[in-house]
Amino acid sequence: MSRILVYCGFRHAPELALPIVGVNGAPVQAAAVGDLSLLWSEVEWPFDQRRMQKSAVEFHQVVHQVFRQTAVIPFRLLSVFEDRKAFTAFAAENQERFLEDLNRLKDFVQMECVIYPKPSETPVDRSSGKAYLEQKAVALRSSEGFAQATQDALAHLSREVRVREGKNGTRIFVLVERGRENNFRQAVTAVPVPSHLSLRMSGPWPAAEFLSEQVKMPQTDEAAKTK
């Protein structure tokens, strides 16, 4: 049994060097719907659970080969369609939405930084509930202040910023003009990091966080499954 695995969408351009093989050595093919191109492979189904990590790496390699050359809309990792008919219908239905986002994001990449607390070198005072809460409040204010200082330092570079708070820290997504990635790194590095915090930078990535909701949602539709 096989399924159609879709990697990414991008605006067609004849000069692009497209990948030849993808997940599990399957040939990579391009489907054109007007100006939109979608890369896909026909893969054995279900996936071999023993090589899922390797398959994920192969998936991202295909996406990033195209992303290094142009803006892409990455599909959810290892998303599959039941057959070519379902895939073709999806592409036709979403063509205009995809092209709108690709036009909007064509000159940009996504850079990220994560702010998270260092392991405490001093024991947390849990003997007093009030003292413990005060310690937590001070740490939170410091983290929020540093996150804001980081965003301020990036204001001249960022087209748009998204912030997500998580259990393990604050994640900042920044839409940066392609080619200015080093300016991003320099700006973040120039912000003094409080002693109890750490910061990790990554990117460039496809601007997945900045896709319109209309483009994000179809990727989790029942037509695209990972089960």
Q: Domain residues of the chain, as ranges?
A: 2-106, 108-209
Cβ(124)–Cβ(196) under 8 Å? no
SS3 sequence of 48-91 = CHHHHHHHHHHHHHHHHHHHCCCCCEECCCCCEECCHHHHHHHH
Which helix (H) or strand (E) is 192 found in, with range?
none
Running DSSP on this structure, what letter comes out for residue 221?
A: S
Question: Domain 108-209 class?
Answer: alpha beta
Instruction: Write out the two tokens for 113.
Output: 């930084």
Closest CA to 151 of 137, 164, 138: 164
Structure tokens, 133: 């809460």
Q: How would DSSP label each residue in 114-132? A: EEEEPPPSS----S-HHHH
Instruction: Tell me the pLDDT of the chain (227 aa) as tens digits.
Output: 899 999 999 999 999 999 999 999 999 999 999 999 999 999 998 888 899 999 999 999 999 999 999 999 999 888 899 999 999 999 999 999 999 999 999 999 999 999 988 876 545 555 666 655 655 555 566 678 888 999 999 999 999 999 998 877 899 999 999 999 999 999 999 999 988 889 999 999 999 999 998 887 555 343 444 44
Buried/exposed 166-181: b ≥16 CB within 10 Å, e otherwise: eeebbbbbbbbeeebb
Largest CA distance in the chain: 67
Task: Note the pTM of the prediction, 2 decimals.
Answer: 0.85
Chain-centroid distance of CA 150 in Å reads 20
